[in-house]
């Protein structure tokens, strides 16, 4: 900004100086022409009168008109008193004598506080006219102009600096608000947010991004807390049961006869705990890519058929119709054991969350190189709040945790399908049922 102003100043000022000099020269040229006309009409006498009239009009100290011979000797002049020190420039004189146009120069005269513009013009073969004009007015004007430009520049610059400072203070104030919010945040006060103005500028974007990040951290922390609560709950129940049974055998000698039953309950509960731990470790390993998947060429239709057969008895038990349709051979490059777990989990859920007399249907659709397997049920459905969370580890729709399950089935299924470059999606209408769809790419034939 300062550079720009200085540049404007540096360009404009010489331009003004040049223009002013051009105007002065034109004015002098006009007087010279007039003097020539007078000389032609009235001779030297007329010239003398014109000299004194001009000196009178402009002030003898401001203008000096002289008639010189070709050697530079002054034949007569309008003023001798003020202009004693006016130097004779023989070079200019000779130059002027050789042409019909005036020759100009700016000179400094000792004792004069302004510069002087001097012009020489040939009047006749051996006569030269000389006009010397004091540039006081021009210099005053330039000085005024220079002062006005500097003042204007100073005012504009101070305005710019002040506006910049105010803006900087505002930005700093808003950055401080973000910093203070960041400093005041802890896991227990994640609800704080940076104030957002309505300016919609970069600071607002920063504040919004920061608040958005806090929202995400907040929901992550909340999710983590819920997972911790769920895990604690899921661990507590079997451990409590094991302890109660073991304690009752110890304190109640009569229970010793039921030792076999007690042991099998303990094994059952520890198996449940082990399954929980192992499944969690397996999901983690598959997601991290450290699990070794046993890939081979398998027929997807066979995997589905076997999974359906596995749950046929359970479904019948609940009076649920479990049907499969459109099974066509479809080769996939997959880990057989893990794919079996995916379909077993999904069919298990469909049967588990469907009440007596309901229906579970598995339909296979082939589209180009992809197979889509729909597992639909007429069960309880999934609420809108639960929908985004059902694939989270340890999430269970049943808050009381009275139905069997670990809250890990869908999480495991999703991690396995993703490891096979596939997709698992869900659609559900609460109270009417759900459809889980597994999409897998086939082996190119
Ligand atoms: P869980 O062991 O609880 O079944 P999952 O990970 O398999 O754990 O499922 C997570 C949650 O998703 C379940 O607790 C349930 O609320 C919901 N869910 C899964 N499948 C179905 C389904 N077919 N119908 C209704 N809700 C389902």
In the reported structure, the alpha carbon of residue 426 is separated from the centroid of ligand 1 by a whole-number distance in angstroms of 11
Question: Is 303's C-beta closer than 6 angstroms to any atom of ligand 1?
Answer: no
DSSP state of 442: P
Which residue owns the Cα nearest ligand 1 atom 16? 397
Candidate from 66-80, 183-197, 315-329 with smallest mean pLDDT: 183-197
Give per-residue pLDDT as tens, 93-134: 999 988 989 999 999 988 888 889 999 999 888 899 999 998
> Residue range 69-74: average pLDDT?
90
pLDDT at 388: 92
Whether the predicted model's global pTM rises above the 0.85 cut: no
**Averaged pLDDT of the chain:** 89
In the reported structure, the alpha carbon of residue 106 is separated from the centroid of ligand 1 by a whole-number distance in angstroms of 101
Higher pLDDT, 76 or 333: 333
Residue (of 2, 114, 10) closest to 63 by Cα position: 114
Q: Looking at the predicted structure, is the pLDDT value of residue 338 above 80?
A: yes
Question: Is 275's C-beta closer than 6 angstroms to any atom of ligand 1?
Answer: no
Residue (of 86, 92, 33) closest to 60 by Cα position: 86
Instruction: Name the one residue in this structure whose structure tokens are 């069919």.
Output: 347
DSSP state of 374: E
Q: Which atom of ligand 1 is nearest to the CA of 433?
A: 24
Question: Is 413's C-beta closer than 6 angstroms to any atom of ligand 1?
Answer: no
| Burial class for 426, CB neighbours closer than 10 Å (0-12, 13-18, 19+) | middle
Q: Looking at the predicted structure, is the pLDDT value of residue 161 above 70?
A: yes
Question: Is 51's C-beta closer than 6 angstroms to any atom of ligand 1?
Answer: no
Contact status, residue 362 vs residue 199, Cβ threshold 8 Å: no
pLDDT at 418: 96
Which one of 390, 412, 413 would you pick to mutate in the ligand 1 pocket, going by the greatest count of ligand atoms within 8 A of its CB? 390
Residue (of 226, 267, 265) closest to 396 by Cα position: 226
Q: What backbone phi and psi angles, to 5 degrees, belong to 339? A: -65, -35
Which one of 282, 385, 410 would you pick to mutate in the ligand 1 pocket, going by the greatest count of ligand atoms within 8 A of its CB? 410
Which residue owns the Cα nearest ligand 1 atom 21? 349
pLDDT at 318: 94
Residue (of 364, 384, 359) closest to 374 by Cα position: 364
pLDDT at 419: 96
How many Cβ atoms are within 10 Å of 254's Cβ, its own excluded?
8
- Binned at pLDDT 50, 70 and 90, residue 56 comes out as confident
Question: Is 342's C-beta closer than 6 angstroms to any atom of ligand 1?
Answer: no
Q: Looking at the predicted structure, is the pLDDT value of residue 401 above 70?
A: no
pLDDT at 350: 97
Instruction: Name the one residue in this structure whose structure tokens are 């769809």.
Output: 437
DSSP state of 257: G
In the reported structure, the alpha carbon of residue 243 is separated from the centroid of ligand 1 by a whole-number distance in angstroms of 29
How many Å apart are CA 292 and CA 223, to the nearest integer?
Answer: 29
How many Å apart are CA 410 and CA 388, to the nearest integer?
Answer: 12
Q: Which atom of ligand 1 is nearest to the CA of 381?
A: 25
Backbone dihedral region of 111: left (phi > 0), alpha (psi from -120 to 50 degrees) or beta?
A: left
Instruction: Name the one residue in this structure whose structure tokens are 């109660």.
Output: 244
Which residue owns the Cα nearest ligand 1 atom 3? 407
Question: Is 434's C-beta closer than 6 angstroms to any atom of ligand 1?
Answer: yes
> Residue range 385-391: average pLDDT?
93
- Binned at pLDDT 50, 70 and 90, residue 221 comes out as confident
| Burial class for 382, CB neighbours closer than 10 Å (0-12, 13-18, 19+) | buried
How many Å apart are CA 46 and CA 29, to the nearest integer?
Answer: 19
Contact status, residue 156 vs residue 5, Cβ threshold 8 Å: yes
Which residue owns the Cα nearest ligand 1 atom 2? 405
> Residue range 326-337: average pLDDT?
95
Q: Which atom of ligand 1 is nearest to the CA of 436?
A: 23
pLDDT at 278: 93
Question: Is 354's C-beta closer than 6 angstroms to any atom of ligand 1?
Answer: no
How many Å apart are CA 381 and CA 361, to the nearest integer?
Answer: 15
pLDDT at 386: 93
- Binned at pLDDT 50, 70 and 90, residue 5 comes out as low
Higher pLDDT, 256 or 372: 372
How many Å apart are CA 291 and CA 46, to the nearest integer?
Answer: 119
Q: Looking at the predicted structure, is the pLDDT value of residue 1 above 70?
A: no
What's the N-to-C CA distance of the chain in angstroms? 70
Contacts of 26 (CB under 8 A, 6+ apart): none
Question: Is 390's C-beta closer than 6 angstroms to any atom of ligand 1?
Answer: yes
Backbone dihedral region of 133: left (phi > 0), alpha (psi from -120 to 50 degrees) or beta?
A: beta
Which residue owns the Cα nearest ligand 1 atom 20? 349
- Binned at pLDDT 50, 70 and 90, residue 400 comes out as low
Contacts of 269 (CB under 8 A, 6+ apart): 238, 239, 241, 242
Question: Is 375's C-beta closer than 6 angstroms to any atom of ligand 1?
Answer: no
In the reported structure, the alpha carbon of residue 396 is separated from the centroid of ligand 1 by a whole-number distance in angstroms of 6
Task: Report in angstroms the alpha-carbon separations of 116 from 19, 93, 198, 311, 382.
Answer: 16, 16, 63, 116, 100
């Amino acid at each position: 900004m300062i550079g720009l102003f200085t540049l404007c100043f540096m360009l404009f000022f010489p331009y003004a100086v040049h223009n002013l000099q051009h105007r002065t020269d034109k004015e002098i040229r006009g007087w010279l022409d007039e003097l020539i006309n007078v000389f032609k009409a009235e001779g030297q006498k007329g010239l003398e009168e014109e000299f004194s009239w001009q000196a009178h009009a402009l002030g003898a100290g401001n203008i000096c008109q002289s008639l010189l011979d070709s050697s530079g000797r002054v034949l007569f002049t309008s003023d001798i008193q003020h202009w004693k020190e006016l130097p004779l420039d023989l070079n200019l004189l000779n130059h002027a004598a050789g042409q019909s146009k005036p020759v100009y120069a700016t000179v400094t005269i000792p004792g004069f506080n302004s510069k002087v513009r001097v012009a020489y013009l040939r009047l006749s073969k051996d006569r030269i006219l000389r006009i010397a004009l004091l540039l006081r007015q021009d210099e005053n004007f330039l000085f005024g102009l220079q002062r006005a430009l500097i003042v204007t520049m100073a005012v504009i610059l101070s305005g710019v600096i002040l506006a910049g400072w105010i803006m900087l203070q505002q930005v700093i104030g808003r950055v401080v608000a973000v910093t203070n919010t960041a400093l005041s945040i802890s896991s227990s006060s994640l609800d704080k947010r940076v104030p957002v103005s309505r300016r919609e500028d970069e600071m607002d974007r920063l504040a919004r991004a920061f608040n958005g990040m806090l929202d995400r951290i907040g929901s992550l922390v909340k999710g983590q807390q819920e997972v911790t609560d769920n895990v604690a709950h899921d661990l507590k129940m079997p451990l409590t049961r094991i302890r109660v049974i073991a304690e009752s055998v110890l304190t109640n000698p009569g229970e010793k006869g039921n030792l076999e039953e007690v042991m099998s309950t303990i094994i059952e509960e520890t198996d449940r705990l082990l399954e929980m731990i192992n499944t969690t470790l397996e999901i983690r390993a598959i997601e991290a890519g450290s699990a070794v998947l046993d890939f081979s060429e398998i027929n997807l239709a066979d995997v589905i058929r076997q999974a359906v057969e596995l749950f046929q008895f359970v479904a019948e038990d609940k009076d649920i119709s479990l049907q499969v349709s459109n099974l066509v051979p479809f080769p996939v490059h997959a880990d057989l054991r893990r794919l079996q777990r995916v379909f077993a989990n999904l069919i298990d859920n469909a049967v588990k969350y469907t009440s007596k007399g309901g229906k579970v249907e598995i339909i296979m659709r082939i589209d180009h190189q992809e197979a889509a397997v729909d597992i639909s049920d007429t069960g309880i459905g999934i609420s809108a709040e639960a929908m985004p969370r059902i694939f989270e580890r340890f999430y269970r729709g049943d808050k009381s945790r009275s139905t069997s399950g670990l809250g890990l089935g869908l999480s495991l299924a999703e991690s396995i399908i993703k490891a096979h470059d596939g997709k698992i999606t869900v659609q559900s209408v609460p109270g009417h049922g759900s459809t889980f769809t597994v999409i897998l790419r086939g082996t190119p034939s």
